[in-house]
């Protein structure tokens, strides 16, 4: 696995992958930070596009990412993560709405579980999922980072 770390407005980020696709984007200051494996090799070159697109996102100049992703997860997790990528920039949905979009047998609890195991922060926008009452809940990077990302996007609650 190749990796690099870099600074961002939400703290240090770790990007990792096979050199062709991004497998991990982790907030190293959050409670779910990714540990660098003993056989990983530091190489920033494969992550130039990741860093540039994130810089444009944080500058308010990019709303969507165009990067090859290869997150490892169960079929259910993959389905939840695909649905997360369908939440438009600047919008939020509840865990219940996410479960409805995923479909049976999804429940707010199990989509929350899958959401919390999203290995590609920001780009797979798990920060756009909030409590049914509009509260900021359950974010591995910490609620301050979730608030910052939603404020950056101008996110508002939209329970479709």
Supply the residues annotated as catalytic: 126
Instruction: Report the alpha-carbon distance of residue 127 to residue 124 in Å, rounded.
Output: 9
According to DSSP, the residues that pair with 99 across neighbouring strands are: none
Instruction: Report the alpha-carbon distance of residue 130 to residue 66 in Å, rounded.
Output: 25
Report the side by side order of strands in the sheet with 22-27. 22-27, 13-17, 2-6, 41-42
Return the closest-CA partner of residue 50 out of 28, 81, 19: 19
Instruction: Report the alpha-carbon distance of residue 58 to residue 132 in Å, rounded.
Output: 27
């Amino acid at each position: 696995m190749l990796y690099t770390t870099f600074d961002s407005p939400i703290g240090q980020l770790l990007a990792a992958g096979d050199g062709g696709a991004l497998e991990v984007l982790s907030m190293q200051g959050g409670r779910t930070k990714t540990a660098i494996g003993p056989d990983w090799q530091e190489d920033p070159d494969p992550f130039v596009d990741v860093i540039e697109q994130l810089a444009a996102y944080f500058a308010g100049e990019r709303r969507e990412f165009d990067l090859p992703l290869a997150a490892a997860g169960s079929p259910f997790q993959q389905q939840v993560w695909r649905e997360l990528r369908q939440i438009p920039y600047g919008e939020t949905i509840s865990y219940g709405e996410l479960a409805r979009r995923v479909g049976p047998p999804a429940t707010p609890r199990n989509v929350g579980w899958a959401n919390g195991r999203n290995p590609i922060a920001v780009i797979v926008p798990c920060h756009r999922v909030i409590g049914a009452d509009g509260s900021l809940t359950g974010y591995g990077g910490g609620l301050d980072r979730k608030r910052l990302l939603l404020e950056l996007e101008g996110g508002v609650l939209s329970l479709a």
